[in-house]
Amino acid sequence: MKQLIYVLILVVVFSCRKDDNADGPVEIDNANVLILNEGNFNFGNASLSLYNDRDNSVDNKIFQSNNNGRPIGDVVQSATQIGDELFVVVNNSSKIEVLNASTLQSKTSIQQLNSPRYIEVATTQKAYVSDLYEDKLYIIDPTNHSVTKTIETKGWIEEMAIANGKLYLTHVDSNQVWVLDSTTDSLLYKIDVHIQPQFIEVDADDNVWVSCSGGFNGGKSALYHIQTSNDSIVSILEGIAVEDKIGEIEMNSTKDELYYIGKNGLYKMSINDLQLPENSFIDQNLRLFYGFSIHPINNQIYIADAIDYQQRGVVYRYNKSGVQIDAFKVGIIPGDIIFLN
C-alpha cells in the first residue's frame, strides 16, 4: 500500500509539471541548477536540463535550444565551472565542451582527449583532467582551452581533489590513492586502499575522504579518511556486510558532514564519526539513486534517479532535513547536478 501511495504522488506531481522545452534560445537568468544527463552509451542522446528552483520549472533541451539545435554529444560525464565558463566533459565524444556559463552557448571545445572523466582546478590557468583509457592525466589551460601537458598514470584515474598543496588521485586500477605535488606535478606517495577507489572529497579540516566500491566481484566497500598534513590514514570505515556498498560521496556546505549513496538510499554522517550510519537519511524505496549533489549555500539535496537507464530519469529535491520539496523529469540517465555561479 505504501508503494502504491508513493507512485500516485509521483503521477500527480509530474502531471502538473511545466516541462518547458523551448525551440529557440532560452534566457537562464534565475535558473542555476544544471542536471547532466549521460544518455545511453553510443546513442549520442546525452543532454543538459536546466532547473529553476524559484518557480520549479525545467527545460530539458537547454543545450539544443541555445546551440542551434545540435546535441551535446555522447555521454555527459561531469562539468566544472571556471570563472565565467562551464567545462562539460563529454566522455564518449572524447571532448570537453566549453560553454558560456551565463547563456550555456558553446564557445569552443577541447578535442585532444581520449575518454575524459573529471576536471580538478588548480589555478585559473591550470586544471587536471582524468581519463578512463589513456593511462595518463591531462593538464589543460582553461584560459586558452588547450592541453599543455600529460602525466603518465599507468591506469584509470577517476575523481581528483586538491588539498594542502597536493593533488589526490583515485587510481582505480592499482587500488591506490596517488598523491602529487600540485605545483611540480611530481609523484609524492601512493596510498594503498580498498578495491576500486572512485570518489573523493575534501572536508573542513582540509583532509580527504575516499570511497572504494569494492569492485565488480563482490569485494567490500570502504570509506577512507586521510590526513593531508602527513598523508596518513586516520580511519577506515566499512559496512558490516559485503552488500553495504558505498558509492558517490559529497560534503555539505560547511564540509563537516559527509553524505554517500549506499545500499538503501542516501546516508549522512559527521566527519568525526568513527563508524558508518546504520540507517539511511533518505530511503531509496523503489528508486535507483544514481547520483546526487548538495547545494553549496542552502544544503538542499538533489538526487538523480536513473530508473531503468532507458527512459527519462527523475531528480528529487529535498531540504536539508530530508523532506522532499519537488520532483521533476529530466533526460536519460541523470548522473550529476551542478550549481552555476
Q: Residue 197 above 90 pLDDT?
A: yes
Residues 335, 71: Cα–Cα separation, whole Å: 17
Q: Is the pTM of this model over 0.85?
A: yes
- One domain, residues 91 and 184: no
Band (pLDDT 50/70/90 cuts) for residue 29 is: confident
Same domain flag for 176 and 211: yes
Q: Judge whether 246 lies within some domain.
A: yes
44: which 3 cell numbers?
A: 549520442
Q: What's 100's domain CATH number?
A: 2.40.10.480
* Domains identified in the chain, total number: 2
Checking if the pLDDT of 12 tops 70, the result is no
- What pLDDT, in 10s, does the model give residues 198-224? 999 999 999 999 999 999 888 999 999
How is residue 12 annotated by DSSP? H
The Cα–Cα gap between 179 and 108 comes to 32
Q: What is the three-class DSSP state of 5? A: helix
Whole-number pLDDT of residue 15 = 41
Q: What range defines the domain where residue 129 resides?
A: 77-152
> 238 and 208 in one domain?
yes
In a domain, 322, yes or no: no
68 within a domain of the structure (yes/no): no
Handedness of CA 277, 118, 228, 320 (dihedral sign): negative
Q: Are strands 257-262 and 76-82 parallel, antiparallel or unpaired?
A: unpaired
- What CATH number is attached to the domain comprising 184? 2.130.10.10
Q: Tell me which residue of 195, 224, 229, 221 sits closest to 210, measured CA to CA.
A: 224
Whether residue 100 is found in the same domain as residue 162: no
